[in-house]
């Protein structure tokens, strides 16, 4: 048992994702894939000939199904991006595409919340995207379904609705890079480790959301993800923290 009394400050609590059937998946890093659906690249004014790239969100940006997510500061254009999430159970580097499924513990529905106005400003200035992507509560995620030796999905419906109105609707087969290719490519940039999450990109149809909106994300037959957008934290209680005490 670690002697936490010797630490200068209390160690951060462990971020985690609930697993179908019980248990918790500890989160180490949250990787995201940018520009992985052709139609989304076009709607964002990007070059569809360029390959997707990777950025990160902090682990404590994780928010669970059913949470009330406070509207973030500094933005007037908070947007939804529905995504398939891969949870890494076995680490490695330079993973072959054929071996990718063996490194994935499970799958979940995720939403990459984005302060679009801040992201666009950063992009125009040639600056990193963190201010638009890596803020508090920006990584909602649903129940994690174990892959249990199955294959990674190459097709399946992906959608999100806001107040019952469908906003994004596509198929996983529309990805520029499929799940196995993402694992292989990302493992060449970083050594993957158990506890890593990979948000695999979003299709076209991203749009603004406001306080009071109810979002429901679905990917194939995975458990759906439902969140609501609440008042900013200085006006209401913060979202329930999705963290576990260190042990």
Domains in the chain, number? 1
User: What CA–CA distances, in Å, run from 102 to 50, 67, 106, 110, 153?
Assistant: 28, 31, 10, 21, 13
Q: Is residue 243 assigned to a domain? A: no
- pLDDT value at position 231? 97
The whole-number pLDDT of residue 238 equals 47
Residue 171 lies in a domain: yes
**Residue bearing the bigger pLDDT, 123 or 65:** 65
Kindly state the tokens that stand for 195: 């506890």
| Strand pairing class (197-199; 30-34) | parallel
SS3 12: coil
Taking a C-beta distance cutoff of 8 angstroms, is the pair 97, 138 a contact?
no
Residue 122: its pLDDT value, please?
A: 93
Under the phi-then-psi rule, with left for phi > 0, alpha for psi from -120 to 50, and beta for the rest, what region is 156?
left
Structural domain including 109 reads 14-236
154 contacts: CB under 8 Å, gap ≥ 6 = 172, 173, 178, 179
- The pLDDT of residue 216: 98
Which residue is listed with tokens 């499929």?
A: 178
Any domain includes 242: no
Give pLDDT, residue 245: 46
Do residues 154 and 178 make contact, with C-beta atoms less than 8 angstroms apart?
yes
Residues 129 and 55: beta-carbon distance below 8 Å:
yes
Q: Is the pLDDT of residue 7 over 80?
A: yes
**Per-residue pLDDT at 244 exceeds 80:** no
Global pTM reads 0.91
DSSP result, 191-203: -B-TT-EEE----
Q: Decide if pLDDT at 85 tops 50.
A: yes
Task: Say if 246 falls within a structural domain.
Answer: no
Whichever domain contains 111, its CATH number is 3.90.850.10
Q: What is the model's pLDDT at position 241?
A: 44
- Is residue 36 situated within a structural domain? yes
| 211 neighbors 229 (Cβ within 8 angstroms) | yes
pLDDT in tens, 60-81: 999 999 999 999 999 999 999 9
Q: Is residue 4 part of a domain?
A: no
Contact 74, 81 (CB under 8 A): no
Q: Quote the pLDDT of residue 234.
A: 73
Chain segment 180-227, per-residue pLDDT in tens: 999 999 999 999 999 999 999 999 999 999 999 999 999 999 999 999
- Report the residue count for the chain: 247
Q: What is the mean pLDDT of the chain?
A: 91
Q: pLDDT value at position 46?
A: 58
Residue 7: inside a domain:
no
Indicate whether 2 belongs to any domain: no
The predicted pLDDT at position 57 comes to: 98
Nearest residue to 33 (alpha-carbon basis) of 167, 153, 176:
176
pLDDT at 166 over 60: yes
Write down the pLDDT at residue 53. 84
Tokens of 40: 């989304």
Lowest mean pLDDT among 108-117, 144-153, 201-210, 227-236: 227-236
CA torsion 145-106-140-43 (nearest 10°) is -110
CB-CB contact of 129 with 51 (8 Å) = no
In order of 34, 62, 225, the CA distances from 31 in angstroms are: 10, 12, 19
* pLDDT average, residue stretch 102-131: 95
What does the pLDDT look like over 13-53, one tens digit per residue? 999 999 999 999 999 999 999 878 866 456 555 555 566 78
């Amino acid at each position: 048992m670690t002697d936490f009394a010797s630490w200068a400050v209390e160690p951060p609590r462990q971020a985690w994702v609930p697993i179908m059937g019980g248990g918790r998946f500890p989160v180490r890093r949250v990787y995201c894939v940018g520009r992985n659906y052709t139609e989304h690249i076009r709607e964002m004014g990007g070059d569809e000939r360029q390959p997707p790239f990777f950025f990160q969100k902090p682990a404590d940006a994780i928010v669970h199904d059913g949470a009330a997510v406070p509207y973030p500061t500094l933005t007037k254009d908070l947007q939804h991006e529905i995504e398939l999430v891969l949870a890494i159970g076995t680490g490695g580097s330079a993973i072959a595409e054929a071996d990718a499924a063996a490194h994935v513990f499970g799958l979940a529905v995720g939403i990459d919340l984005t302060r679009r106005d801040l992201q666009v400003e950063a992009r125009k200035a040639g600056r990193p995207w963190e201010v638009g992507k890596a803020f508090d509560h920006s990584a909602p995620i649903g129940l994690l379904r174990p892959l249990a030796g199955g294959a990674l999905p190459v097709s399946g419906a992906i959608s999100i609705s806001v107040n019952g109105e469908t906003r994004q609707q596509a198929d996983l087969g529309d990805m520029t890079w499929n799940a196995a290719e993402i694992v292989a490519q990302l493992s060449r940039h970083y050594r993957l480790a158990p506890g890593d999450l990979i948000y695999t990109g979003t299709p076209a149809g991203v749009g603004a959301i406001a306080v009071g909106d109810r979002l429901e994300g679905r990917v194939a037959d995975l458990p759906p993800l439902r969140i609501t957008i609440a008042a900013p934290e200085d006006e209401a209680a913060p979202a329930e923290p999705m963290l576990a005490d260190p042990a």
